[in-house]
A = this chain, B = another copy of it.
Amino acid sequence: MHGERRGDEVVVGGDARQRFYDASGYGRPLEGNEVALSRVEAAHLLLRGDVETVADAGERMGFQAFFADSTGDGFGVRFLVYSDLRRRGFYLSPAREGWVPDPAEDVDFVVYPRGKGPQEGDVAYRVRAVGERTAVQATDLGDRVLAVVDEESEVTYFETEHIDVDGGTETDLPEGVPGSLLADRVLLWDPPADLHRRAFYGQQLAEREGVGTDALQLSLLEAAYLAARGAVDVEAGYEGIVDAGRNVEGDRFDRRLRAYAALREAGVVPKTGFKFGADFRTYREVEDVESLGHSERLVRVVPAGHTFLPRDLALDVRLAHGVRKEMVFALVPGESDVEWLAVRRLTP
Contacts and interface: CB of A to CB of B under 8 A. Distances in A.
A275 B183 contact: no
Main secondary structure, interface of A, reads mixed
Given A208-B87, A274-B151, A182 B76 contact: yes
* Residue of A153, A180, A183 with most chain B CB atoms under a 10 A cut-off: A153
Nearest to A74: B183
Interface residues of A, number: 63
B71 A152 contact: no
Nearest to A201: B152
Interface of A: 47-49, 63-64, 67-68, 71-72, 75-76, 87, 131-133, 148, 150-154, 156, 180, 182-185, 187, 189, 202-203, 205-206, 208-209, 211-213, 215, 217, 219-222, 248-249, 271-272, 274-278, 310-312, 314-316, 318-319, 322-323
B152 A272 contact: yes
Contacts of A310: 274
A202 B276 contact: no
A99 to B, nearest CB: 23
Contact of A48 (B183, B212, B312): B212
B63 A212 contact: yes
Contacts of A249: 133
Given A47-B212, A208-B87, A133 B322 contact: no
Contacts of A151: 184-185, 219-221, 272, 274
